[in-house]
Amino acid sequence: MKRSELNEILREGKAFLDEQNFKLPKWAHWSPDDWARAGHEWDEIRDNMLGWDITDFGRGEYDKYGLLLFTIRNGNAELDKYIKPYCEKALICGDGQICPTHFHWEKIEDIICRGGGKLVIQVWNGSEDGERLDTPVTVNIDGHVYEVPGGSEIRLTPGESITLTQYMYHAFWGEPDVPGGMVLVGEVSAVNDDTTDNRFHDDDIGRFPAIEEDEEPLHLLCNEYPPAP
């Protein structure tokens, strides 16, 4: 992805968050120069990959397959000094913009439709070897537990959430043709580790994009922070 494209996605995302009255920490607005001066007192953000995250999942079609995320808080399964056993993220889905089918080996999470349009989430059971199963799926929507056929699409309106357990395959996207076209999504989960805990159903999925530097970054992404001076 081009840096200019990433910058525009960040601008649009920040404007949408303002419309939804969803506020981020002050360091969310830091420049690369701010990060270059940030000492070790900011290492929790660096070590746990907090902050902005943009992905096109290696498809090169961000408007069709993509996601803008901001990790607000997170623990770390590898570093004992970080004791938080939880993670929280804000995600922005565009109109019909798909987060591809995947599950998590370890993480359990609640996905919450916070505002904007509806969130469509499609669910299947998965096996320990990564197979997607054609079996009934037990879903939990805000404490209401029931079964749906594998591959069912569930629509969450603002305020509703679904619990996703380990090995539960899921894909999600903003409801097409909703005025405004964007959905604010919350994620509350166990500790998140994007390097080891994602199992995508398709083998051609990439998590972090290669970046073509055609202009200066507006903000650094969570995998771009420089070490403390």
- Residue-range domains of the chain with CATH: 3-200 (2.60.120.10)
Query: What digits encode the pLDDT tens for the residues 42-67?
Result: 999 999 999 999 999 988 899 999 99
Beta bridge partners of 103: 199
Query: What digits encode the pLDDT tens for the residues 133-154?
Result: 999 999 999 999 999 999 999 9
Given a contact cutoff of 8 angstroms between Cβ atoms, the answer to whether 218 and 28 are in contact is no
In this structure, what token pair is assigned to residue 143? 């404490």
What pLDDT, on a 0 to 100 scale, did the predictor assign at position 179?
Answer: 59
Q: Provide the whole-model pTM.
A: 0.94
- C-alpha–C-alpha distance, residues 215 and 152, integer Å: 42
**Torsional class of 9: left (φ above 0), alpha (ψ -120 to 50), beta (otherwise):** alpha
The average pLDDT across 81-98 equals 95
What does DSSP say about strands 51-55 and 67-74: parallel, antiparallel, or unpaired? antiparallel
